[in-house]
Amino acid sequence: MSFENFGLKTELLSAVAAEGYTTPTPVQTEAIPVILQKRDVLAGAQTGTGKTAAFALPILQLLGNTKGKACKPRCLVLTPTRELAAQIQESFESLGRSLSLRSTVIFGGVGINPQIDKLRRGVDILVATPGRLLDHAGRRTLDLSQVEILVLDEADRMLDMGFIHDIRKVLKLLPNRRQNMLFSATYSPDIKRLADKLLNNPEIIEVSSSNKAADGVDQTVYPVARTRKRELLSTLVRNGEWEMLLVFTRTKHGANRLTKQLIKDGIKAAAIHGNKSQTARTRALADFKSGSIRALVATDIAARGLDIDMLPHVVNFDLPNVPEDYVHRIGRTGRAGAQGIAISLVCQEEQKQLKDIQRLLNHKIPVKKVDGFDQERTVPTQPDTFRKKRPTSRPRYSQTPR
């Protein structure tokens, strides 16, 4: 299978070649022909599968074939996070570089006036997060009456983040006749309900179940006491000479604390999470990509949709509470065929999460012990008499929301 088989315009084929894509990924092979037939699509595909080009290429082709009216958006892509929105718009921009279609991105946390100016000048493809989109609609600086194609990307994450009401409001602003696509890594009952309401006789595309996506990644669990995780991480980074790692913590506070500690250990690091300004997040990502920082420390939500090619190491500093998040996290490494390494620092208190993750993966994750950090050795030995009195259940640590 090659991109030529889809009957795409030469402008798109040359953009694909310039991006260095030689063979379509499975989601592209399945989705592109269906979208070109103007059919609705429900696709189970997560970040790293090439899903952005799977919808961007046929959308560019369809919009490039016809003329729109009055410079109003003809395609709307809704995404959960600013980073993902920015990356999707960049993909439209680079894949559509030789077409005369205009795309723009709007999200919160930055000034609204430049966005108003861009919308006023006219746009064919609009990529947006739901809140700021509604803000524009409320100010009447945006007219969605000419939208022909709607994409909900990472729909599961949008629902997790509480965007369902905003999505419903946006749907009311769109014309009834339109092509719809819903991309989601997981199918919860809520997603099914949304899909039933939104999609008209959709083609269902499932590229890989979430546990399969994890198979291409070399995964290891390091047992370690909770209090010694940072030390172990710094040791692994130094000994393994890891140059580029994405580290996941469960909380924003944890991300900040770990970042400071890594810097003290001589490992250049930056945190990326929802409390950081857009400028700080963009700078951290740029520094990470350019190699001027080695470790990017992120929470699940902030990391979602970060487009970083060939990320060699993903570290679960804390295991996620939701097993599917583990799969999303490690899906950030070994992208587009490259071999990736995912390591998890697991303390006694996280055994339940580990069990749930292994159940989802349907296999055990290999365990490696590092001398001096092995869990049992780090737990202070207690006299026998005392040990007998210890409660069998361990204290639970309070969890601050992400």
Residues found near ligand AMP in the complex (CB under 6 A): 21, 23-25, 28, 47-53, 307, 309, 335-336
Q: Please say which residue, 276 or 335, places its beta carbon nearer to ligand AMP.
A: 335
Least gap, CB of 303 to ligand AMP (angstroms): 12
Say how far apart CA 37 and CA 208 lie, in whole Å: 23
Shortest Å, Cβ 139 to ligand AMP: 31
* Sequence-ordered list of residues with C-beta below 8 angstroms from that of 364, at least 6 positions apart, any chain: 358
Residue whose CB is less far from ligand AMP, 11 or 143:
11
CB of 87 to ligand AMP, least distance (A): 7
User: Could you tell me the smallest distance in angstroms from the CB atom of residue 322 to ligand AMP?
Assistant: 20
Distance CA(16)–CA(21), nearest Å, equals 6
**Pairwise CA distance, residues 146 & 176, whole Å:** 10
Q: Please say whether the beta carbons of 287 and 259 come within 8 A.
A: no
Residue 119 vs 306, nearer CB to ligand AMP: 306
Q: Residue written as tokens 């250049």?
A: 268
Task: Pick the closer one to ligand AMP by CB: 21 or 373.
Answer: 21
* Euclidean distance between CA atoms 90 and 103, whole angstroms: 9
Q: Which is nearer to ligand AMP, 46 or 249 (CB)?
A: 46
Q: How far is the CB of 37 from ligand AMP (least distance, A)?
A: 20
Name residue 345's beta-bridge partners: 222
CB 329, CB 250: distance < 8 Å: no
Torsion of CA 41, 45, 47, 50, to 10 degrees: -70
Q: Tell me how far the alpha carbon of residue 347 is from its chain's centroid.
A: 26
Q: How far is the CB of 294 from ligand AMP (least distance, A)?
A: 20
Q: Which residue, 23 or 351, has its beta carbon nearer to ligand AMP?
A: 23
* Nearer to ligand AMP (CB atom), residue 253 or residue 289: 289
Query: Among residues 31 and 236, whose Cβ is nearest to ligand AMP?
Result: 31
Query: What is the nearest approach in angstroms of ligand AMP to the Cβ of residue 81?
Result: 13
* Residue placing its CB nearer to ligand AMP in the complex, 53 or 293: 53
Q: How far apart are CA 87 and CA 136, in angstroms?
A: 21
Q: Which is nearer to ligand AMP, 49 or 61 (CB)?
A: 49
- Minimum CB distance to ligand AMP, residue 226 (Å): 33
Task: Name the token pair of 343.
Answer: 């390591």
Residue 48 Cβ vs ligand AMP, minimum distance, rounded to whole Å: 5
User: Any residues with CB less than 8 A from the CB of 20 and at least 6 apart, and which?
Assistant: none
- Non-local CB neighbours of 388 within 8 Å, separated by 6+ positions: none
Indicate the residue type of 322. Answer: V
Q: How far apart are CA 191 and CA 382, in angstroms?
A: 50
Q: How far is the CB of 28 from ligand AMP (least distance, A)?
A: 6
